[in-house]
Amino acid sequence: MIGIPSPRTPAEDVRPVPRVGRIEDLAYVSDLRSGALVDRDGSISWMCWPRFDSLAYFAALLGAEKHGLWRIGPAGPSGQPSAPADRRRYTDGTLILESSWITPHGTAQLVDFMPVTDDDDALRLVRIVRGVSGRVPMRSTLRARPGYGRPSQDPGRPQVHASGRLSLADQGDGHLWLDTQAPCRVDGPDIVSEFTVAEGEEVTFVLSWQRGHDEPPPTPAPAGLLKATGDFWVAWAGRSTYSGPHGDAVERSLITLKALQHQPTGAFVAAATTSLPEEIGGSRQWDYRYCWPRDSALTVEALLACGYKEEVRAWVGWLKSVIGGRPETMQAIYRVDGGREMPETELDWLPGFEGSVPVRTGNGAAGQLQLDVYGEIVGALYTAQEHDPELAPVVAPLVIDLVVCLEQLWEQPDEGIWEVRGPRRHFVHSKVMGWVAVDRAVRLIESGRAQGPLEQWRELRDAIHRQVCERGYDEERNTFTQSYGSTELDASLLQIVTCGFLPPEDKRIVGTVEAVQRELSTQGGFLLRYRTDGQKPGVDGLAGDEGTFVICLAWLIAALAAIGRMDEAEIHLGVLLGIRSDLGLLAEEWDPYSGRQLGNSPQAFSHVGIVHGVLAVTTARSAGNGRLPARAATV
């Protein structure tokens, strides 16, 4: 694939895009506690254990091979890395990855997966090499580097224990162990295996993380782990109630969303990575390995729409525990265990993905005021008890507490959904989401499923609505604006269309959709979140540009369906589905000029967008009148 010149990619800098090392080249496997990213050449270049937000053992994704990776593939000449796999896929309905190489010597296949387990103290990553035909020379190079490959974190020389088991890389509370029947040699702190796999043969590698340091975990049985993992994912995918068009895309996105859930606590992380750039060579790199109540609320709605309740109940339990009866202390971001501390730090020894620095861990946005979060959470809780009435007694007190808190805050400016690092503003999206929170609370009280000040909150709902229409609407241009008094637009305004704030036929709704398309669209119809100003700090307080946000295109699809423009919605849906990787995965952003994914990956927001985009079009078509029923496409 050849890059396309753009303002971000001058013509003289256009080069062929490699088939290894792009964000869309990354596959994802997970044990519902953490995840690993696998490149096309069989390299695991990112993995944290024992949790998504733990320190990485493999961090080559954000640096070089010396920062940690594990590559298995056909042996290249003179120790060179293996070529990209000729074919790769997930086995149907699972998160089991198969990568296949066709070589002059024959064909070999690599199977990668992380078994789902209930034992937090013994986690595994399994890699099985299969001979398909001929005899293929293979090489495994395991280079574990704890602490994101920090130079001072010397993992030491691997030690051989009883029965040939290898112990390596200590990272404080746990230890890595390698089990394999392949011949191994220790090369400094690395473990290298060179072997030949013939047709019908299998060579297995099992890397285990064991809490503590002295005793190895139980000897693994790879075949049993493979079957159990496949059975788990097939059974889980089989619980989906969705049976409409684009079923494969919806299933893959649902599996990906599930694989971003921290099973022990019920928290959903926003993405599996940190610091994959929003602009190649830019400075917009952030750590997304935490739980945003907003992002997880939207994830919950996507899962509910496809019949999943168990994951939602777990998330509600997590939310209840982190709020703890004190919604006034609610943060914008939490660790998966509910921890509140995540200081933003720069890892200056990592050169970044394609030179994009700084590499950051932690997230300074945790302490921001983001008023829209109340709307997304209350909306998800309201939807949850509609789908699962047994949740009503748990959900009702949470909703009431949150709206009592919002009542004191809603007139303040905030940092908004995009977590701006510039001055606070009265963001229209935040105010509308405040309206959503109060509206759903009123409905819950009216239904008799909650107790609260009904008349008082009806008046509050009306007051918010009136203020937004008076101060957040540009009558001359017939559009809502990004913030009060601003002429700028924001793609988040599209959520006004689908949340029930105004009827879809209202001229202000139609005008906002048209204005967002007109002012924020890029090549191919993709949407920017808002306009940036290059090297000059913009509304978000940051210099630099970024790609188009994937979920914004999904919001546009739902908005177009809501106002009856079905043909246009379906065209955009085809575009959205077309930018997924060969494995059906999406990062946070898309650069339509270079044709590349950008940002952290896989991204929950983007896969929520796939589910809701498909459902919006399908629901509107099935309604028969070309319109989407109110709130059916809320994202």
Per-residue confidence (pLDDT) for residue 565, from 0 to 100: 97
pLDDT score of 8 more than 70: no
Q: Which comes out higher in pLDDT, residue 145 or 128?
A: 128
Clarify whether residues 61 and 94 are in a common domain: yes
Ranges 188-202, 430-444, 460-474, 605-619: which has the least confidence: 188-202
Question: CA dist 267 to 159, 323, 396, Å?
Answer: 36, 13, 20
- My answer on whether 447 and 315 are in the same domain is yes
> Do 465 and 407 contact (CB within 8 A), yes or no?
no
Looking at the structure, do residues 246 and 209 belong to the same domain, yes or no? no
Under DSSP, the state recorded for 258 is H
The yes-or-no verdict on residue 161 having pLDDT over 70 is: no
Mean pLDDT computed over 546-566: 96
End-to-end CA distance of the chain: 33
In a domain, 159, yes or no: yes
Examine residue 10 and state whether it is found in any structural domain, yes or no.
Answer: no
In percent, the amount of the chain with pLDDT more than 70 equals: 92
Is the domain of 316 the same as that of 188? no
The arithmetic mean of pLDDT across residues 581-602, rounded, is: 97
225 and 260 assigned to the same domain: no
Average pLDDT over residues 395-410: 97
Position 154 confidence tier, pLDDT thresholds 50, 70, 90: low
Q: What is the pLDDT of residue 533?
A: 75
Range 157-160, long-range pairs (CB < 8 A, 24+ positions): 157/186, 157/188, 157/189, 158/186, 158/189, 158/190, 158/191, 160/186
67 located within any domain = yes
Mean pLDDT, rounded, for 425-430: 98
Weakest-pLDDT range from 11-20, 152-161, 483-492:
11-20
Q: Which two tokens stand for residue 567?
A: 């043909």
Mean pLDDT for the stretch of residues 149-178: 74
Structural contact between residues 394 and 316, judged by C-beta atoms closer than 8 angstroms: yes
Q: Which span out of 117-121, 163-167, 394-398 was modeled with the highest average pLDDT?
A: 394-398
pLDDT at residue 16 tops 80 = no
Average pLDDT score over the chain: 91
pLDDT at 535: 72
- Residue 157 is predicted with a pLDDT of 64
| 419 and 541 both lie in a single domain | yes
Lowest mean pLDDT of 149-158, 523-532, 558-567, name the range.
149-158
CATH number, domain of 66, equals 2.70.98.10
Over the range 591-621, which residues count as b (16 or more CB within 10 Å of their CB) and which as e? Answer: bbbbbbbbbbbbbbbbbbbbbbbbbbbbbbb
Question: Which residue segment(s) compose the domain that 426 sits in?
Answer: 239-340+347-623
Helix, strand, coil shares of the chain, percent, nearest 5, are: 35, 20, 45
Question: Which range, of 150-154, 397-401, 471-475, averages the lowest pLDDT?
Answer: 150-154
pLDDT band at 4 (very low <50, low <70, confident <90, very high): very low
12 belongs to a structural domain: no
Give every CB contact of residue 27 below 8 A, 6+ residues apart in sequence. Answer: 37, 38, 39, 88, 90, 97, 99, 112, 583, 585
Interval 208-243: pLDDT, tens:
998 876 778 888 899 999 999 999 999 999 999 999
**Strand bridging mode 159-160 / 166-170:** antiparallel
For residue 17, pLDDT beyond 60: no
Identify the domain boundary among 235, 254, 276.
235
Residue 6 lies in a domain: no
pLDDT (average), residues 244-249: 96
Residue 481 lies in a domain: yes
Name the token pair of 403: 């709206």
Does 393 map to a domain? yes
Q: What's the pLDDT at 153?
A: 63
User: Is residue 74 domain-shared with residue 201, that is, in the same domain?
Assistant: yes
**Residue 632, in any domain of the structure:** no
What pLDDT was estimated at residue 634? 40
Q: Are residues 277 and 403 in the same domain?
A: yes
In whole angstroms, what is the distance from residue 180 CA to residue 192 CA?
Answer: 11
> What residue has token string 């490959």?
149
Q: How many domains does the chain have?
A: 2
- Please say if the pLDDT value at position 197 is more than 70: yes
Note whether 206 and 268 are same-domain residues: no
End-of-domain residue from the set 215, 235, 255? 235
The tokens for 296 are 């997880």
- For residues 215 and 245, membership in a common domain is answered with no
| pLDDT, mean of residues 279-283 | 93
Reported in sequence order, the residue ranges of 50-201 that DSSP labels E, i.e. its strands, are 56-58, 69-74, 87-90, 97-103, 106-113, 122-143, 159-160, 166-170, 174-180, 185-187, 190-198
Whether the bond between 602 and the residue before it is cis, its omega within 30 degrees of 0, is yes
Can you give the pTM of this predicted structure? 0.94
- Provide CB contacts within 8 A for 209, sequence distance 6+: 49, 50, 122, 123, 124, 174, 175, 176, 177
Same domain, 144 and 248: no
Taken in order 67, 356, 36, 31, the sign of the CA dihedral is positive
Whether residue 443 is found in the same domain as residue 572: yes
Question: In which band, very low, low, confident or very high, does the pLDDT at 623 lie, cut at 50, 70 and 90?
Answer: confident
- Gyration radius of the chain's alpha carbons: 25
User: Scanning the structure block, which residue is given the tokens 């496809």?
Assistant: 306
CB 438, CB 468: distance < 8 Å: no
Residue range 389-408: average pLDDT?
A: 96
Q: What is the CATH number of the domain that holds 428?
A: 1.50.10.10
Say if residues 240 and 250 touch (Cβ distance below 8 Å). yes
**Residue tagged 């899962």 (tokens):** 303
Domain boundary among 181, 200, 235: 235
Per-residue pLDDT, averaged over 496-512, amounts to 96
In order, the DSSP letters of 181-250 are SS--EEETTEEEEEEEEETT-EEEEEEEEEESSSSPPPPP-HHHHHHHHHHHHHHHHTT----STTHHHH
Cis (ω within 30 of 0) for the bond into 592?
no
Q: What gap in Å lies between CA 597 and CA 599, rounded to an integer?
A: 7
Closest of 356, 269, 265 to residue 313, by C-alpha: 265
